[in-house]
Amino acid sequence: YQRRVHGQLMLECQIKFFLIGATAVGKTTLLARYIDKVYRPCTPTVGFTCRLSPITFQDGQTTNLIFHDCSGDARYRSLLPLCWSGCQVICVCYDVTSRTSFDQCHQWCTQLVAALLHVDAILVVCGLKTDLALERVVSVAEARALPFAVDLVHECSAKSGHGVDEFFRFCINAYVRKVMNNPDTPPPAIT
Q: What is the tens place of the pLDDT at every residue in 43-57?
A: 777 767 888 898 887
pLDDT band at 126; cut points 50, 70, 90: very high
Task: Evaluate if residue 1 carries a pLDDT over 50.
Answer: no
Amino acid at site 118: H
Residue 177 sits at φ, ψ, to 5 deg, of: -60, -40
Closest CA to 92 of 149, 169, 34, 174: 149
Greater model confidence, 189 or 142? 142
Give the Cα separation of 157 and 160 in Å (integer): 6
Rounded to two decimals, the pTM is 0.84
DSSP annotation of 73: -
Which range, 37-51, 70-84, 91-105, has the best average confidence (pLDDT)?
91-105
pLDDT greater at residue 119 or residue 154: 154
Q: Where does residue 101 rank: exposed (0-12), middle (13-18), buried (19+ CB within 10 A)?
A: buried
- Dump pLDDT digits (tens) for 88-102: 898 999 999 999 999
pLDDT recorded at residue 8: 58
When pLDDT is cut at 50, 70 and 90, the band that residue 156 belongs to is: very high
